[in-house]
Amino acid sequence: MQTLYAVDVGRVRADWAVEDAIRESGLAPDLADYARRLVVGVQTNRSEIDARLSELLEDWSFNRLAAVDRAVLRMAACELLHFPGIPPRVTLDEAIDIAKKFSTADSGRFVNGVLARLLENSDKAHWDPSRMETPPDEEEPPEPEPEEPEEQPDELEEEPQPPEPPSFWRIREATDQNQP
């Protein structure tokens, strides 16, 4: 969020801002890669994201929103619209928490309302993790063919869930832990 805020308000180059934030926070490599992908995703799709969010605002201009609210909405919108592996509930909950923490007292409710409406009109409206597709850059190698089982177990084992992909929100947790 801080990177997108710096880009929006300070007119800082996105690539410089994200690398500076990664260096200062000491993010793990997987979280640093995700931070880069998220910033690039927001910047690449900024016109579409801003237009979609603007349509949802009643009697208000997107550019008149508080800069923190714009940054939070852009990040969450990017995850909802362009990151199929991130559960929408995770995106909404974390966006609301960040808005409450870094913006005004009413920002949490506002962000919730806008993102809930965006979610209703997105591909993730009926998100089902069992049908989740792994994005191409997160594909896992194919598993070897299973050997024939010797015996059938009496109880069915629960199928392991795919690991949760890194998200901006894990980045936030990591940076919160590194700060005094």
pLDDT in tens, 11-62: 777 777 888 887 888 888 888 888 889 888 998 999 999 999 999 998 888 8
Do 80 and 124 form a contact (C-beta atoms < 8 A)?
Answer: yes
Q: CA 37, CA 129: separation in Å to the nearest integer?
A: 21
Are 66 and 24 a contacting pair, CB within 8 Å? no
Question: E strand or H helix at 73, and its extent?
Answer: helix 67-82
Residue type at 54 in one-letter notation: S
Domains identified in the chain and CATH numbers: 2-131+165-178 (1.10.940.10)
Query: In this structure, which amino acid lies at residue 43?
Result: Q
Res. 91: pLDDT tops 60: yes
